[in-house]
């Protein structure tokens, strides 16, 4: 598909399952082709998952001209730069009709903050509907064109995304609707001590 911007992401691991990174603006067209092409016939979307890639500090060695003891010399300096992070969504496709797969698709957001939109593939594979909702809930990816994008696992009032790498658990879990065991103990520790009792007794 000319202009689709499909790139190959190699996997050096034991599985050797390489994947295709899609340009989000062409993702729906590529997905439709993969589903409808008679030889590929990728008619089954088995899994959708998210990946959080935080900002990464990269140290690079560069050669610069510098005056050392009054003499111009080329010296090597280490410079640091920050590579912005992003959120990634990964789709695993199989062909039930042709009995092959998986073909793995990837899409990345622009960043992790205010540009986290990716196109929904629910119109191509209906099984993406709940799984994209899960990625939205846990990672914060906003799937444009999704028919019913709302939280799936966390309650409606929850405002964070627990699968992000920089997620910090709150100390006070008393708002948790179904607190259990250690969670309940942590919440109880934040309760006001009863009259006549000393905290910790």
Mean pLDDT of all residues belonging to the chain:
87
Report CA-CA distances (Å) from 152 to 36, 137, 171, 198: 30, 6, 23, 42
Q: What is the pLDDT of residue 200?
A: 47
Q: What is the pLDDT of residue 199?
A: 46
| Angle subtended at Cα 59 by Cα 53 and Cα 60, rounded to the nearest 5 degrees | 120
Residue 171 pLDDT exceeds 80: no
Q: Is 68 or 107 the better-scoring residue by pLDDT? A: 107
Q: What is the pLDDT of residue 55?
A: 92
Q: Is 71 or 111 the better-scoring residue by pLDDT? A: 111
Identify the sign of the CA torsion 30, 18, 113, 61.
negative
Q: What is the pLDDT of residue 1?
A: 77
Q: Does domain 7-52+87-152 have CATH number 3.30.460.80?
A: yes
**What residue spans define the domains of the chain?**
7-52+87-152
90-112 pLDDT per residue, tens = 999 999 999 999 999 999 999 99
Which of 55-64, 99-108, 191-200 reaches the highest mean pLDDT? Answer: 99-108
Q: 44-48, 82-86, 153-157, 195-199: lowest mean pLDDT where?
A: 195-199
Q: Which residues of 164-195 are buried (b: 16+ CB within 10 A; e: fewer)?
A: beeeeeeeebeeeeeeeeeeeebbeeeeeeee
Q: Average pLDDT of 37-63? A: 94
Percent with pLDDT over 90 in the chain: 59
102-158 pLDDT per residue, tens = 999 999 999 999 999 999 999 999 999 999 999 999 999 999 999 999 999 998 888
């Amino acid at each position: 598909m000319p202009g689709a911007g499909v790139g190959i992401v190699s996997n050096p691991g034991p599985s050797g399952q390489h994947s295709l990174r899609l340009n989000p603006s062409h993702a729906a067209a590529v997905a439709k082709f993969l589903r409808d092409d008679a030889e590929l016939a990728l008619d089954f979307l088995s899994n959708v998952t998210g990946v959080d890639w935080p900002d990464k500090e990269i140290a690079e060695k560069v050669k610069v001209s510098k005056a050392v003891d009054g003499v111009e010399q080329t010296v090597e300096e280490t410079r640091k730069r920050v590579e912005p992070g992003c959120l990634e969504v990964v789709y695993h496709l199989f062909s039930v009709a042709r009995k092959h797969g998986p073909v793995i698709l990837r899409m990345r957001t622009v960043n992790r903050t205010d540009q986290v939109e990716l196109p929904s593939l629910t119109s191509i594979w209906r099984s993406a509907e709940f799984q994209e909702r899960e990625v939205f809930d846990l990672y914060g990816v906003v799937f444009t064109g999704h028919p019913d994008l709302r939280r799936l696992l966390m309650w409606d009032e929850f405002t964070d995304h627990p699968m992000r790498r920089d997620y910090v658990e709150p100390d006070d879990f008393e708002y948790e609707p179904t607190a259990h065991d250690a969670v309940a103990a942590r919440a109880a520790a934040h309760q006001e001590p009863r009259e006549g009792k000393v905290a910790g007794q």
